[in-house]
Amino acid sequence: MSEVMKINSPRFGEIKCPKDKIIYFVIPILGFPNSKRYIILEHDKECDFKWLLSIDEPEIAFVIIDPTLLFSDYPLVVFEKYSNLFSELEIKDINDLSIINIVTIPPDPTQATVNLLAPIVVNSKTFKAKQVILEGSDLPIKYPLFSQDENKKQR
């Protein structure tokens, strides 16, 4: 059984996290130089969104999503351009790799966007991670999660 760490988060209260499930960023997420250790929290079992909570700065939490829910071939873009990540994150098998993307939710949630240009690549065995900027890609930083037609239907 893994050793447990307690985290006190202003947003989520006290959280108990197995130490062997901590995600360690080899280079911090852009704009957050003091946060290298994170955990993933489920928002709700029925929800596609999760939280990426900083252990080093528990007031920092990102909404994240699995990009394959939006585009089944999205991982191929990352693999083709950044195969050097395999050695950097100690990925020995492609099945050990997972990708998450940060979601921005403004006051009007129907305007939520996902950053497809800078995915977070995680080794699901070692929990080493790195945010990658897909240079030369035409993928957007603010891809709308909901089409305007869906928004009209919801109103």
Can you tell me the mean pLDDT for 85-99?
Answer: 85
- Helix or strand or coil: residue 108? coil
Q: What digits encode the pLDDT tens for the residues 41-57?
A: 987 778 899 999 999 99
d(CA 126, CA 117): 24
We report the CATH number of the domain holding residue 22 as 2.30.290.10
CB of 38 closer than 8 Å to CB of 32: no
Residue 150 has pLDDT above 50, yes or no: no
- Confidence band of 152 (pLDDT split at 50, 70, 90): very low
Q: What digits encode the pLDDT tens for the residues 1-45?
A: 579 999 999 999 999 999 999 999 999 999 999 999 999 998 777
Evaluate the CA torsion angle 61, 7, 56, 52 in order and state its sign.
negative
Q: In the chain, how many domains are there? A: 1
- At 77 the pLDDT is 65
- At 66 the pLDDT is 93
Q: Residue 52's domain spans which residues?
A: 4-154
Q: Tokens for 46?
A: 């029925």
- By percentage, how much of the chain surpasses pLDDT 70? 89
Residue 81 has pLDDT above 70, yes or no: no
